[in-house]
Amino acid sequence: MEKLVIIPTYNEKENVESIIGAVFALQQNYHVLIIDDGSPDGTAEIVKSLFEKHPGQLFLEERKGKLGLGTAYIHGFMWALSNGYQYIFEMDADFSHNPKDLERLYEVCKAGAGIAVGSRYIKGGAVVNWPANRIFLSKGASLYTRLITWMPVKDPTAGFVCYRREVLETMNFSAINFVGYAFQIEMKFAAWKLNFLIAEVPITFIDRKLGDSKMNKGIVKEGILGVLKLRWMSMFKNYRRNVKNATPPYNIDGAFNTPEVFAERK
């Protein structure tokens, strides 16, 4: 149980089977956890129909409604920690992230980084098929985040990431504030504040071909205000102390683990 790819889904019936297939086709011993938020299009049913094909490798957590990307990932992180995984990945279901790049992220974490970020905005990275306004927004967000926070990450909104287990264990997830793009920024910010090494790996990001975007104005607004809030909290509210987990690790319900689970994992 080394590597777990967490894929959050909301109405991804056109993509979910092929993205799962693409990860298992790598034959590099990844497990996959889908976090589905009650997709009305039946995404979860498609996942269940694949259990038989991938026994012990494919998992599904279903939540009642669309609760946002950030809380979906936090749910997945707690699941990953309580199930003993060492390297935990974030990846979208829509093929914007190429599963073949998972191994490159893994190698960088294995070599010692706390977080490996699949980055569009370093040398060798690229964005394909995005309209000019989307690129402008994304690059603008990157620049804005760096200006305000001084965090040394060129693609802070990136959602293709590998975390070493220790990074997630060290975080107090209940102190994480945001759910959209700001969530991706905050995860990196928190890891940086906790002194973990963040490495960027160039990737080519390709716009989704199938299914609909879940991007909306609220997510952009959260990003703009969220970055200011992060800076504010880190200056005056002792962000670092709050985001540090006093008593790792968690169990899946968000309560602290029982001693048995802790002992089992050692």
Ligand X SMILES: Nc1nc2c(ncn2[C@@H]2O[C@H](COP(=O)(O)OP(=O)(O)OP(=O)(O)O)[C@@H](O)[C@H]2O)c(=O)[nH]1
Considering only CA atoms, which of 31, 33, 50 is closest in space to residue 42?
Answer: 50
Q: Which two tokens stand for residue 102?
A: 């998972």
Closest CA to 109 of 26, 32, 193, 3: 3
Report the site for Mg ion in 200-229 (rule: CB under 5 A).
208
User: Which CB sits closer to ligand X, 66 or 240?
Assistant: 66
Token duo for residue 37:
């938020």
Whether the CB-CB separation of 3 and 86 falls below 8 Å is answered with: yes
In the list Mg ion, ligand X, none, the entry touching 196 (Cβ below 5 to 8 angstroms by class) is: none
Contact between 9 and ligand X by CB under 6 A: the answer reads yes
Q: Which of 48, 104, 139, 208 is close enough to bind ligand X by CB under 6 A?
A: 208
Q: What's the min distance (Å) between Cβ of 234 and ligand X?
A: 25
Q: Please name which of 211, 215, 141 lies closest in space to residue 179, comparing C-alpha atoms.
A: 215
Q: What type of residue is 96?
A: S
Q: Residue 149, Cα to own-chain centre: how many angstroms? A: 20
Single out the segment in contact with Mg ion by CB under 5 A; choices: 4-12, 90-98, 177-185, 188-196. 90-98
In terms of Cα–Cα distance, which of 93, 104, 119, 153 is closest to 3? 104
Based on the shown chain and the rule CB under 5 A, indicate whether residue 92 belongs to the binding site for Mg ion.
yes
Nearer to ligand X, 12 or 200 (CB): 12
For ligand X, the binding residue among 27, 133, 213, 247 (CB under 6 A) is: 213
Cα angle: 122, vertex 128, 217; to 5 degrees: 90
Q: Confirm or reject binding of residue 93 to ligand X (CB under 6 A).
A: yes
Side-chain-side CA neighbours of 150 within 13 Å: the count stands at 5
- Could you tell me the smallest distance in angstroms from the CB atom of residue 11 to ligand X? 7
Q: 12 contacts which partner out of Mg ion, ligand X, none, CB within 5 to 8 A by kind?
A: ligand X
66 binds ligand X (CB under 6 A): yes
9 binds, among ligand X, Mg ion, none (CB under 5 to 8 A by kind): ligand X
Applying CB under 6 A, the residues found at the interface with ligand X are: 8-10, 12, 35-37, 66-69, 72, 92-94, 96, 208, 213-215
